[in-house]
């Protein structure tokens, strides 16, 4: 029997550190509205060839650094409510006394309703520009979060 998981109900929220460099375990998380797609955060580790002269059949490798790909893209329905919410997030994240310039990171929480653990990433949200627009379409855009630390799945 398969136990597939639907993506319906997945949410993205954020919380700023109140102690620089410390995960906000008791902070208030703010939902980011209108997110309709989340880029993959499942990096393939680089490998180093550890084969030596005693190996005669197979090469051996060890895991090296993993790369999230530089940015985490979030596809959104772009409207005034989203623009305001993302603007508030970026203002808070880049505040000179309570944000990244002062050493306080912004944490992002990815919640799947049917999984008890959440996925956590500290990141730097980029200011939104002007998304592409086409005739007779819902206005969508992509915003980006540059990962600073990956906590991963946690309770």
Q: For residue range 109-137, what is the model confidence (pLDDT) as tens digits?
A: 999 999 999 999 999 999 999 999 999 99
Residue 81 has pLDDT above 90, yes or no: yes
CATH of domain 11-154: 2.40.30
CA pair distance 122, 92, nearest whole angstrom: 14
Percent of the chain with pLDDT over 70: 99
Residue 74 has pLDDT above 90, yes or no: yes
Please state whether the predicted TM-score (pTM) of the whole model is above 0.75.
yes
Three-state DSSP class for 82?
Answer: helix
70: confidence class by pLDDT, cuts 50, 70, 90: confident
Structure tokens at 137: 């379409």
Q: pLDDT value at position 1? A: 60
């Amino acid at each position: 029997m398969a136990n597939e998981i639907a993506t319906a109900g997945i949410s993205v929220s954020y919380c700023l550190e109140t102690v620089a460099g410390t995960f906000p375990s008791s902070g208030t998380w703010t939902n980011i509205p209108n997110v309709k797609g989340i880029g993959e955060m499942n990096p393939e580790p680089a490998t180093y060839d550890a084969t030596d002269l005693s190996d005669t059949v197979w090469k051996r490798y060890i895991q090296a650094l993993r790369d999230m790909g530089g940015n985490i893209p979030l596809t959104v329905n772009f409207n005034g409510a989203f623009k305001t919410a993302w603007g508030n997030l970026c203002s808070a994240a880049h505040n000179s006394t309570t944000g990244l310039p002062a050493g306080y990171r912004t944490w992002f929480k990815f919640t799947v309703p049917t999984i008890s653990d959440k996925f956590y990433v500290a990141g730097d949200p980029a200011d939104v520009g002007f998304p592409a627009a086409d005739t007779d379409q819902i206005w969508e855009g992509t915003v980006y979060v540059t990962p600073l630390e990956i906590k991963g799945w946690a309770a």
